[in-house]
Structure 1
């Protein structure tokens, strides 16, 4: 897992309009960039990220996060994008730790339901159980950090797509089949 490098003053140089790269993040980036290309792909990211259960993040989580921060859409991220990703993961880690009250490295059904409730979602217990079942391939009872990030990002994307179409704020929309496919494909990439 990424660790907090003890944020002090930023030093170093970055492109105009972007904050300079934290030297600790720069060193971490260089360690992760195994092929020394100056870019990190999802496989390199996966080798560097460990969830609370001692396992590497899933392929899905790494592809999703690279895709979110890959501004030039070349399938990899540079050091500035990596710094944004680093901060993003640490924000989600703080949220995750807040709900992983027993410190198990995973969130169980009740903890996940509380997390979504405090995020403003009113999901039924059945839907929360469904999310855990879909994310936990081992025993269908818990969600790791990487699975939590994937679920939250996907829910956020679908929520934004739904809200854009719910102009009357009724909580109900009507979609043509192609519009539905457009939402599904755009939100899952």
Structure 2
């Protein structure tokens, strides 16, 4: 095996980089810096409506995998992001049954239910309306990823406070703000 572009050798601290991931990384890294920023990622990702992923989605995804907090990801971090995006795309495609490139309210409700969330139809409708500024009826894949990540982060924060597993927590206002800011940080 050869050294990967991050200088590591498989089995010696750095994971082997899949050749397909390396090819995608090189295609996305337009300035050839060896790092990808959210703008480069955004230029490379197209949602089901033929538009680039939102700024919010790209900043969120870079932030999730930017372990050294530089605002960019290297090839190893990109490999993790690549796997993550493909997992969410699989979930999205499973529920985009009409292959429209977006998920409508009933499909989103089913997806969340399958993921173990018991969300009311009113809340699912709220999520759709919040993500679809145009007609409040559908959610694109990038909006789906952002929504799922936000729900996952808030769920983890909630569970950390719900020590008795009652499904109810009491928070002081500043504690609530801390949780909200930490969960929404890009």
Deviation, structure 1 residue 17: 2.9
Measure, in 2, the Cα distance between the counterparts of 1:137 and 1:76: 29
Deviations 1:31-89 (A, max 9, x none): 11111111000000000001111111000000000000000000000011011100100
Counterparts of 1:122-133 in structure 2, within 5 Å, are 122-133=118-129
SS in 2 for 1:143: strand
User: Which of 56, 62, 86 is the matching residue for 2:58?
Assistant: 62
Measure, in 1, the Cα distance between the counterparts of 2:13 and 2:147: 31
SS in 2 for 1:107: strand
User: Which of 170, 178, 183 is the matching residue for 1:182?
Assistant: 178
Whether 1:102 aligns to 2:113 is no
Over 3 Å counting, the alpha-carbon distance change for 1:165 and 1:44 in structure 2 is same
Q: Which residue does 1:43 correspond to in 2?
A: 39
Indicate the RMSD between aligned Cα atoms, in angstroms. 1.0
User: Which of 9, 20, 23 is the matching residue for 1:24?
Assistant: 20
Over 3 Å counting, the alpha-carbon distance change for 1:122 and 1:55 in structure 2 is same
Measure, in 2, the Cα distance between the counterparts of 1:86 and 1:23: 12
Counterparts of 1:111-122 in structure 2, within 5 Å, are 111-122=107-118
Measure, in 2, the Cα distance between the counterparts of 1:24 and 1:119: 29
Measure, in 1, the Cα distance between the counterparts of 2:125 and 2:115: 17
**Aligned residues, how many?**
179
Measure, in 2, the Cα distance between the counterparts of 1:82 and 1:138: 32
Q: TM-score, normalised by structure 2?
A: 0.93
Measure, in 2, the Cα distance between the counterparts of 1:166 and 1:131: 24
Q: TM-score, normalised by structure 1?
A: 0.92
Gaps of 5+ in 2: none
Deviation, structure 1 residue 22: 1.3
SS in 1 for 2:139: strand
